Amino acid sequence: ENDAPSEEKDHPHHRGVWLSHGDVNGYDFWAGMVGKKDAVIRTDKVETEKTDTTATITASLTWLGDGKELLREKRHQTFSRPNPKTLVIDIHSTLSAVADKVTFGDTKEGTFAIRTDRTLRVKGKEAKSTLTNSNGETNLDAWGKRAKWAAYSGPDELGKPVVVAIIDSPKSF
């Protein structure tokens, strides 16, 4: 939309937080390509649970390539606030192959991402952030690299300091 003229419109397929992959048996689930090869993640069931300290969304999903089931996914997203200034989103996903053979291709598109505000980027007109990962790499040298964690730090659009981090679970392979 044109209501935010300074906002970049380069990646309309990017959502706030997402899990997908750019090449699963040749299907591009990252960009949500529909057309030549349809790649769709279908929501089969959603359950919610709320406690005094957390809210959890559990979704049963099916990854479809041209209408054929490739994967089934069970995704749990738990939201909590350990303190008033911190929001934790814990995402646990289990993917199970349905097709006889499932291959995750080597691509820069995948598998988990966060789209940050334009000030929390290292590239672009309004970028004011620093990206650091657990390997000690920074900015564009850290982008797209395997690491135990990656964090953007910088000001939000109001100038307040913010850190957005992705931390891999020690239980993850």
- DSSP character string of 88-153: EEEEEEEEEE-SS---B---SSEEEEEPPPGGG-SSSTT---EEEETTS-BGGGTTT---SEEEEE
Report the alpha-carbon distance of residue 40 to residue 30 in Å, rounded: 10
CA 87 to chain centre: 16
The pLDDT of residue 74 is 98
Angle of CA points 169, 42, 77, to nearest 5°? 30
Report the alpha-carbon distance of residue 10 to residue 3 in Å, rounded: 15
Strand 68-83 relative to strand 54-65, pairing: antiparallel
Question: Residues 87, 79: contact at Cβ < 8 Å?
Answer: yes
The pLDDT of residue 34 is 61
Q: Which residues of the chain are modeled with pLDDT < 70? A: 1-15, 33-36, 173
The pLDDT of residue 78 is 97
The pLDDT of residue 170 is 81
Residue with tokens 């419109």: 9
The pLDDT of residue 17 is 83
The pLDDT of residue 120 is 87
What number of residues does the chain have? 173
The pLDDT of residue 13 is 46
